[in-house]
Amino acid sequence: MTDSASMAVVFIDLAGFTALTEAHGDNEAADLSERFTAMTAAELDASDRLVKTIGDAVLLVSDDAGSVVALLRRVLPRYAEAERFPIVRVGANLGPVVVRNGDVFGATVNVAARIAGQAGGGQVLVTEPIATAARAADVGVRDPGQLWLRNVSEPVTVYDLDFGMETRSVAVDPVCRMRIAASCGAGHLRYAEVDYPFCSLACAAAFAADPARFVVV
C-alpha cells in the first residue's frame, strides 16, 4: 500500500554508540538499544509513530511540526534523567513523504537523517518549519546555520533547539561515551591537567592504559 502525506520526520541517535559497544560489548549495547526504543515508545501519543529502529537510532514521524516539538519535549528529559545512558543527537525535518508498507521514504526523510548525522551530542537540529513551531511552544531556538549535506544539491538551513537541559555540559566517559551521573560514576583520572570521569572501573582501566587513544586534542 502506498500513500503520500506531509509529516514531521525525526531521527534520534545515540551519540558514541560505537565506542560504547567496543567498551562494554555487544550484549550491553543490544540491551541499551532495546531500552532506548522502549523509552521512546513510551512517550508517543496519537500524533506520533515509531517507524523503525536502525541500530543506534530510531526513526519517528509526527503529524505536524507542533506534534514533533511536543514529542521531543516529552522524550528528551527521559533520556537525560536515565542512568548509564548516552547523550542523544536529533535531526528533524517537515515535508512530503511516501508511506509504503509502514515505512517512510523521500527527500524529507533523507534530509532529516543527514541533519541528525551532522548534529553533535546533545544537539537538536531542525529545519525552519519545526523551528517556527518550537518558538510558538516557547522552546529556545538558536541562530540558524547552513549545512551542506551529502547528496543534497543545496545547503539546508538548520536551527538548534534548546529544551533547557544543558546537555552540552554534562560529564561524559571518554572511553564509552556514556553520560555520567554524579550518583553512579566510578571515579576520575587526571590527564594533561583535565579530570576525566568514568562509568566503570573497566573504562577507567582502559583509559589509564592508553589515555591518548581517548583524548581528542
Domain CATH code at residue 50: 3.30.70.1230
Shared domain check, 51 and 144? yes
Shared domain check, 158 and 182? no
Shared domain check, 112 and 135? yes
Confidence at residue 2, expressed as pLDDT on a 0 to 100 scale: 54
Shared domain check, 50 and 133? yes
Shared domain check, 106 and 49? yes
Q: Are 6 and 83 in contact (CB under 8 A)?
A: no
Shared domain check, 123 and 134? yes
Structure pTM?
Answer: 0.85
The helix/strand/coil state of 47 is coil
Q: Which residues constitute the domain of residue 52?
A: 2-169
Task: Pull the grid cell for residue 47.
Answer: 500524533
What is the tally of structural domains in the chain? Answer: 2
Shared domain check, 175 and 95? no
Shared domain check, 186 and 86? no
Q: Are 91 and 58 in contact (CB under 8 A)?
A: no
Distances (CA, A) of 23 to 28, 135, 199, 213, 214: 10, 39, 11, 13, 12
Shared domain check, 139 and 179? no
Q: List the pLDDT tens digit at each of the 217 positions of the chain.
A: 458 889 999 999 998 888 888 888 899 889 999 999 999 999 999 999 999 999 899 999 999 999 999 999 999 999 988 888 889 999 999 999 999 999 999 999 999 999 999 898 889 999 999 999 999 999 999 988 888 878 777 888 999 999 986 554 578 878 877 777 655 566 778 888 788 878 777 878 778 888 888 886 5
Shared domain check, 61 and 14? yes
Contacts of 157 (CB under 8 A, 6+ apart): 127, 128, 144, 145, 146
Shared domain check, 117 and 44? yes
